[in-house]
Structure 1
Amino acid sequence: MDYSATPSGFRQRKLQPKVRMRNQAADAADHTQLFDDTSAGARPPGYRGQETPGMGYSGQALLSDPMSNLAMAYGSSLASQGKEMVDKNLDRFIPISKLKYYFAVDTVYVGKKLGLLVFPYMHQNWEVSYQQDTPVAPRFDINAPDLYIPAMAFITYILVAGLALGTQNRFTPEILGMQASSALVWLIIEVLATLLSLYLVTVNTDLTTIDLIAFSGYKYVGMIVGVVAGLLFGRTGYYLMLLWCCASIFVFMIRTLRLKILSEAAAEGVLVRGAKNQLRMYLTMAIAAAQPIFMYWLTFHLVR
């Protein structure tokens, strides 16, 4: 219906601008109220507010509090006691102080020891030096056992085995893991068998488990030499170098262990010494003869 011709229609058209003006004014008021900061509306200019007690404490004041100092001292005491307890229990299962002795090496010692392992035939004095009933550190005595060379030789052997498998297109992470696990398991079995044999033969010796691990780990040096020779010169080079290293480690173990295993025989009687000397010598030769067997068993499949 058209309202433009009626008086009421005319009034309707006249009222529309006023309605729109009131709506715009209301929107402006709402907009102003929405964005104005009402939090400071009741505060005069320059009002900073009253500070709450305790809000202005600095870090220095907190540290100077006697209760805080007491809590910090108590926490430090608990931490030191916990560290001593951990060190005591850890040293019970893992002799950290003894391990430091076996890793006390330097470059000169490592070079001489590697030469002794590969060429032990001209070495004369095989006795370990002592100072006040304590063996000197390996860096001062080439005859002292260490764990640095066995540990590094074991890791290097795994890397060389991976290289050999890679040149034959047989490398996979699973095979390399099995190679490392196999070498470690055989080392543990060898050490346990040696300990059991020493117990059964009733040998009174100063050989420790760590000493046996060190002596058994020296064979990895010859294994590395044999595998590298196989990679460079084929199976012929592998067999020649492995044969040389097997003979070297056999001589090294015989001359080293006979002083350890037979050292207590002189303090016993003649009859006892005569009866047990043969068993001890057989045990020494068995330990030395096991090294070439493990060397061949763990490397023959790496060279083709």
Structure 2
Amino acid sequence: MENSRFRQRKLPAKVGMRGPLQVEGDPSHLFEDTSGNMDASGSGYEGGASFSLTRQGFLNDPMVSNLAMAYGSSLASQGKNIVDQNIDRFIPVSKLKYYFAVDTIYVGKKLGLLIFPYMHQNWEVRYQQDSPVAPRVEVNAPDLYIPAMAFITYLLVAGFALGTQSRFSPEVLGMQASSALIWLVIEVLAILLSLYLVTVNTDLTTIDLVAFAGYKYVGMITGVMAGLIFGRTGYYVALGWCCISIVVFMIRTLRLKILSEAAAEGVLVRGTRNQLRMYLTMAIAAVQPIFMYWLTFHLVR
């Protein structure tokens, strides 16, 4: 009896134990069918691929490319206009183009006029529609090409002269360039202040004054080159000639600019104000030889 009860009691336990074993050993539970998920993921991949192909086709569309190019061009033009407007506030690029409108014939004539101004008769600048003509067609017009090139050439000649005397160094050449540039700025500012104090109404601009003040570098180069070739005697002769030439050039050029108000009003050049204008013109011309000698005498020994 006791064994039969034990069997009856153990039988459910065996059945219960067999139940979990059958569940764990069931292949349907150990290896789950994921073919449905694979189909779902495969369909998603195909959708992503089709979207990528659609995007590439959209980008390769000629109409879209043309619209993008047109939009980019419009943005570039707008940016260029903004930059040009902001630059013109500080640097008058449009005006600077006028001062660099030169050619080889003009440069040759201008250099000859700076060295031999004595035979030149007509010093007036021609105008066209209330604006001066370009320097390449008017030798009397101021330009910035010759002053800029003369300044650079002066530094090269100065470096060569210092090298022949075993005194060359980058620091010395830098000091030479800084000194020449600082004296040029001081000269232009002094002229502007003098014109303001004398109350002269003239069409001279700051760029014109820079151009006229920069013409003296041509005579400075000539003097230093003559000194390198012929010694100090050649330096003094060439520099003296160039100093007289630049004085004549400045007086004949600036008197038409500074005395233009009196000429326009038909007033004779007399009286206190007109005398001050004449003295100012002569002072501007007379200071040129001083700068020419001060910036070159130490280069020739």
Question: Aligned partner of 2:216: which letter?
Answer: K
Residue 290 of structure 1 and its aligned partner are, at CA, apart by 0.8
- Alpha-carbon spacing, 1:281–1:81, altered in 2? closer, same or farther (3 Å): same
Which of these residues, 88, 108, 111, is aligned with residue 108 of structure 2? 111
Question: Aligned partner of 2:236: which letter?
Answer: Y
Which position in structure 1 is the counterpart of 2:262? 265
Residue 64 of structure 1 and its aligned partner are, at CA, apart by 2.4
Alignment of 1:284-295 (within 5 A): 284-295=281-292
- Alpha-carbon spacing, 1:201–1:73, altered in 2? closer, same or farther (3 Å): same
Counterpart Cα distance in 1 of 2:57 and 2:289: 69
What's the C-alpha RMSD, in Å, of the aligned pairs?
2.3
Counterpart Cα distance in 1 of 2:239 and 2:57: 70
Counterpart Cα distance in 2 of 1:247 and 1:271: 27
Which of these residues, 75, 78, 97, is aligned with residue 78 of structure 1? 75
- Alpha-carbon spacing, 1:129–1:65, altered in 2? closer, same or farther (3 Å): closer
Contact kept, 8 Å, 2:191 with 2:284, in 1: the verdict is: yes
Residue 233 of structure 1 and its aligned partner are, at CA, apart by 0.5
Structure 2 alignment gaps of length 5 or more: 1-44
Which of these residues, 222, 226, 247, is aligned with residue 244 of structure 2? 247
Residue 108 of structure 1 and its aligned partner are, at CA, apart by 0.7
Residue 54 of structure 1 and its aligned partner are, at CA, apart by 3.7
Residue 78 of structure 1 and its aligned partner are, at CA, apart by 3.0
Alignment of 1:151-230 (within 5 A): 151-230=148-227
Contact kept, 8 Å, 1:63 with 1:69, in 2: the verdict is: no
The percent of aligned pairs where both chains have the same amino acid is: 80
Question: Aligned partner of 2:250: which letter?
Answer: M
Counterpart Cα distance in 2 of 1:57 and 1:160: 68
Residue 61 of structure 1 and its aligned partner are, at CA, apart by 3.9
Alignment of 1:42-121 (within 5 A): 52-56=49-53, 61-64=58-61, 73-121=70-118
The C-alpha deviation readout for 1:204-230, integer Å capped at 9, x for no partner, is 000000100000000000000000000
User: Aligned to 2:142, what secondary structure does the other structure show?
Assistant: coil
Which position in structure 2 is the counterpart of 1:12? none
The C-alpha deviation readout for 1:224-278, integer Å capped at 9, x for no partner, is 0000000001101000100000000000000000000001013458699622110
Contact kept, 8 Å, 2:223 with 2:236, in 1: the verdict is: yes
Which position in structure 1 is the counterpart of 2:5? none
Higher helix share: 2
Which position in structure 1 is the counterpart of 2:128? 131
Contact kept, 8 Å, 1:266 with 1:273, in 2: the verdict is: no
Alignment of 1:20-31 (within 5 A): none
Contact kept, 8 Å, 1:265 with 1:273, in 2: the verdict is: no
User: Aligned to 1:81, what secondary structure does the other structure show?
Assistant: helix
Residue 180 of structure 1 and its aligned partner are, at CA, apart by 0.6
Bigger Cα Rg: 2
Contact kept, 8 Å, 1:150 with 1:220, in 2: the verdict is: yes
- Alpha-carbon spacing, 1:71–1:249, altered in 2? closer, same or farther (3 Å): same
Residue 297 of structure 1 and its aligned partner are, at CA, apart by 0.4
Contact kept, 8 Å, 2:269 with 2:275, in 1: the verdict is: no
Contact kept, 8 Å, 2:227 with 2:234, in 1: the verdict is: yes
Structure 1 alignment gaps of length 5 or more: 1-48
Task: Answer yes or no: is 1:280 the counterpart of 2:274.
Answer: no
Counterpart Cα distance in 2 of 1:53 and 1:219: 75
Counterpart Cα distance in 2 of 1:75 and 1:195: 46
The C-alpha deviation readout for 1:157-180, integer Å capped at 9, x for no partner, is 000000000000000001111111
Counterpart Cα distance in 1 of 2:269 and 2:239: 39
Residue 134 of structure 1 and its aligned partner are, at CA, apart by 1.1
Question: Aligned partner of 1:241: which letter?
Answer: A
Count of residue correspondences: 256
